[in-house]
Amino acid sequence: MPSPLAERSLGAAVLALVVGDITAFAADAIVNAANSALRGGGGVDGAIHRAGGPAIMAELRARYPAGTPTGTAVATGAGDLPARWVVHAVGPAWAGGGHGEREQLASAYRSALAVAAGLGARTVNVPAISAGIYGYPLPEAAEVAVGTIADVLRSDPGSVERATFVLRPQTIDAFRRALAAIR
């Protein structure tokens, strides 16, 4: 993993930001920005399925044939990825902000970390959920993402020790601002 562009200690845990390909960096768990059908897609979801191989989709179909609702997360093995698990978190599609999107996005991050912690993951790599094709405005998506992960890391000491947002170059500035605003 490259050196973090920014990082913050939150009690015993660390929240970091890096730019790169989430499928290339080792962690105990990698969070996938999944759709509620859990049937693959574009963006991060497509990249994770391509890099991880068909075992991930086969496990999703066998274990979660009905998918999972927006704001929740489920886990599978990681296939060929440099991780033990993939946590598939479903964020909301942006619909103007008045349809519970903020709460659903925060819930997706909380659920992802809870699932990862339940598996015993100490290191978790996380994408910018809903900030791509789902159209969530980047500044608000970054604020919700960083704030929620920071709250989880502070409130559950000794569980996940390091959460690293693995971001695209065009998203890093919004996440840096959100991380700097954490108190």
The residue among 96, 117, 121 whose CA lies nearest residue 29 is 121
Determine the Cα angle at 66 with ends 62 and 71, to 5°: 115
Q: Is 28 assigned a catalytic role?
A: no
Q: How are beta strands 29-34 and 6-10 bridged, if at all? A: unpaired
The residue among 157, 128, 156 whose CA lies nearest residue 144 is 128
The encoded tokens of residue 158 equal 């000794």
From the list 21, 45, 156, 173, the catalytic residue is 45
The encoded tokens of residue 108 equal 């997706």
Going by C-beta distance under 8 Å and a sequence separation of 6 or more, which residues neighbour residue 36? 67, 68, 69, 70, 90
**Positions marked catalytic:** 45
